Each structure stands twice: as C-alpha cells, then as structure tokens.
Amino acid sequence: MGQALVVVRDVRKVYKTGDVEVHALRGVSMTVEAGEFVAIMGSSGSGKSTLMNVLGCLDRPTSGTYLLAGREVSRMDKNELAEVRNEVLGFVFQSFNLLARTSALENVELPLVYRGVSSRERARRATEALERVGLGARLDHTPAQLSGGQQQRVAIARALVGAPKVILADEPTGNLDSMTSVEVMALFQELGSQGITVVLVTHELDIAEFASRVVVVKDGLLVTDERQPPKDAARALAAARAAAPPPPGPREERP
C-alpha cells in the first residue's frame, strides 16, 4: 500500500446530445492506492459508469486531471489511451462479454492476440490465468458449457492475462445468484491480496461489504468515501455452503 495508482482531480464530464447537456460528473476527486478494493455505489444515472469509463481510459474527462500509474492520461489521444489500457488495466463486465462457440482458453488468449504474443506463449499465459481463477479443468469448454459464475471467472482470467495493475468491473455480479456473487468477490479479494487493485460498481450493499472502501456517487459527485474492514468472502462462502449444499448441477457433471 501507499502507492497512489489512480489520482483523479476535479474530473468533470459533460455529454452533449443535440442542445441538451448532461453533467454526468461534476467535479470528482479521488485517490486509489495499490491493493485497495473499492466499491462504487449510487442510484441509476448518478454517474458510476461514466466514472468507470474515465478510470478505464475508455473516455476522456471534459476537464480535470487523471494520473494513472504515474502517467497523466486525461489529455492523451485514442491510441495512447489504448496503450495505457493494455498495459495497466483489466476489464470485467456484467454480461461477461465472452465469444460464444469459442473455448475458455481462446477467450482468455484474445487480448494477447491483439498484442502480437506468439501462440505458444498465449496458450501458456491463458492457461495460467484460468488456473488462477480455478478453471484449469475447463480450458476447452465454451461459454454455453459453463455456469454463469464460471463464465465470469473466464472473463476475470481474460482481464488478468495482461498482468494489469487495476481491474475495473462494472456490476460484475449483476447477472449472478448470491452464492456465485460471493464466489466472484472471494476471487477479487484474493487478487487484492496479490497486490491487484480492484474497483467495482455494484448496486448491492451485501456485495459492497466485501470491499475495503465504499464510494457513493450522487448526481455526478462523490458524497461518501469510507474505508471499512472488508467482510471475508471465502469465509462467507464456506458458511453459506455448509448451511445449504448446492444441488448437483448438470453442467458441472460434463467432462
């Protein structure tokens, strides 16, 4: 800890649609240190995704500064932003965004294809990433042959394969049942213990409990920013499993 990875100062974002201006971010400042696990909360339309898009170098702020891993990215052009994204960031989405009819291994290899990594090296790194998320035995499965939680873990492996410093996740548990959500949170906590910074958006208080810091966005402003002792997801998972063993899922039985 102690290293400021994300330093956002007075960031504003104005969307112009025809004559209408939407002030989606109205002066946001925050610093995230290496290894922190931040949950961003707030009602619909408050500006969470807009903030994540700025943090993720997918969109530039209208004004303000953003220092990411020591680099000022707020005025970079598209190509430079893409480079920083590749080097520093990993993304996880609510809808997994995996290619259908494509194996877990190939899905995870994809970011490396774009970077011109050799096929043997891609397979090695993708296998390692899938092992890291507990899917070493599912390399050849397509998304349809995996449970929702497993699909999200493939997506996390895809985010990890480029060795990111920060993982950004917009509602990663939005399509998962509560047990599977806790599983995903346990994985994020484990990544945190390995020094990876996680910033996630969630609508659910019982998901935010697993973070070490909760930030609330309202009308384009940060209204709360509090550190907390995170709830232990692995322990919560073990307790939930002991209380209600899951029924045998047909998908789990496939070879």
Ligand X SMILES: Nc1ncnc2c1ncn2[C@@H]1O[C@H](COP(=O)(O)OP(=O)(O)OP(=O)(O)O)[C@@H](O)[C@H]1O
Q: How far is the CB of 148 from ligand X (least distance, A)?
A: 20
Task: Report if residue 49 touches Mg ion, rule: CB under 5 A.
Answer: yes
CB atoms within 10 A of CB 135: 22
Residues 6 or more apart whose CB falls under 8 angstroms from that of 158 comprise 90, 98, 107, 108, 110, 111, 129
Query: Could you report how far apart the first and last alpha carbons of the chain are, in Å?
Result: 42
Residue 42 binds to ligand X (criterion: CB under 6 A): yes
Q: Which residue from 1, 2, 18, 44 is in contact with ligand X, where contact means CB under 6 A?
A: 44
50 lies in the site for ligand X, by CB under 6 A: yes
Q: Which of 6, 35, 47, 112 binds ligand X (CB under 6 A)?
A: 47
Tokens linked to 246: 């899951």
Q: Does 218 bind ligand X (CB under 6 A)?
A: no
Output 47 or 230, the one with its CB closest to Mg ion. 47
As given in the structure block, the two tokens for residue 183 are 């599983």
| Identified binder of ligand X from the candidate list 48, 125, 138, 153, rule CB under 6 A | 48
Q: Is 12 exposed, middle or buried (0-12, 13-18, 19+ CB in 10 A)?
A: middle
Number of CB atoms found within 10 A of residue 252's CB:
10
Q: Find the binder of ligand X among 5, 28, 37, 46 (CB under 6 A).
A: 46
- Locate 56 and state its tokens: 């993720």
50 contact, one of Mg ion, ligand X, none, CB 5-8 Å limit per kind: ligand X
Stretch that binds Mg ion, among 45-53, 72-80, 127-135, 202-210 (CB under 5 A): 45-53
Q: Which is nearer to ligand X, 42 or 56 (CB)?
A: 42
- How far is C-alpha 58 from the chain's CA centre? 14
Should residue 205 be labelled a site residue for ligand X when binding is judged by CB under 6 A? no
**C-beta of 47 vs 172, nearer to ligand X:** 47
Binding segment for ligand X among 45-53, 63-71, 138-146, 160-168 (CB under 6 A)?
45-53
**Number of residues this chain uses to bind ligand X (CB under 6 A):** 12
**Which tokens in the block code for residue 204?**
């659910």
Alpha carbons 76 and 94: distance in angstroms, whole number: 27
Is residue 152 a contact residue for ligand X (CB under 6 A)?
no
Cα-based torsion angle of the residue sequence 119, 132, 204, 168 in order, rounded to the nearest 10 degrees: -40
Our finding on whether 61 is near ligand X (CB under 6 A) is no
Amino acid identity, residue 37?
A: F
Site of interaction with Mg ion (CB under 5 A): 49
Which residue ranges make up the site for ligand X (CB under 6 A)?
15, 17, 22, 24, 42, 44-50
